[in-house]
Amino acid sequence: MAGVSTNGDLGVIINNDLYMHLPYPLILASNSPRRKELLANAGFRFKIVVKPVDETIPEGFTPVNAAVAIADRKINLYADLAKDNIVICADTIVAFNYTILGKAKNADDALRMLQLINGETHEVITAVAIAYPKGKFSFSVTTEVTLYKLETNELKAYIRAYKPFDKAGAYGIQEWFGHAGVRKINGSYTNVVGLPISQLYHKLKSLSA
């Protein structure tokens, strides 16, 4: 079964057949249950190792550059583990008219963010940094998300029920807000969830060549 590995198995397992053999054990450096689920559903075997990191959004950066800078900041903490493993770090940012929306501090801040993007089109950027014994690199994926106009009481009810304070832009596309509020997306759905899994799959596949 794919998912969190306890025995050091390498690669991707699909229906008990090995489709990709990775040259080193895989580590997901994230506490996000959504990233863990996406990586496991793609068939990867991996371990989770998490270190404290400063996720402060750097000032004066474009949304893409800010996401990449934070992902790179994270991956630099795992230089020791990258000597013998493939380590994956990621950071997701929501941007509206070049204004970066990080994680909401409280319910009022969440409402402010949701009202800002309500009925509008915004961007979700996930930057992924990968370090392994032969080096490190990063990439980013941007998805456009267009929302329906929801009532303020609906936004407040969502915040009360789901407490989306651990999500960039104060919403989860896989939750009620995504089911009721998203009109269309242009790009990767899993990128909005928190990890552009198809792009990541092929980046890791290139390491196995």
Active-site residues, by number, are 91
Q: From CA 208, how far away is CA 205, in angstroms rounded?
A: 5
Q: Structure tokens of 76? A: 């630099």
Sign of the four-CA dihedral 186, 164, 200, 72: positive
For the record, the structure tokens of 81 come out as 């583990």
12 contacts 173 by C-beta, under 8 angstroms: no
Which of 49, 51, 57 is closest to 74 using CA atoms? 51
Residues 6+ apart with CB under 8 A from 153: none
DSSP assignments along 56-111, one per residue: PPPTT--HHHHHHHHHHHHHGGGTTGGGTSEEEEEEEEEEETTEEE-B-SSHHHHH
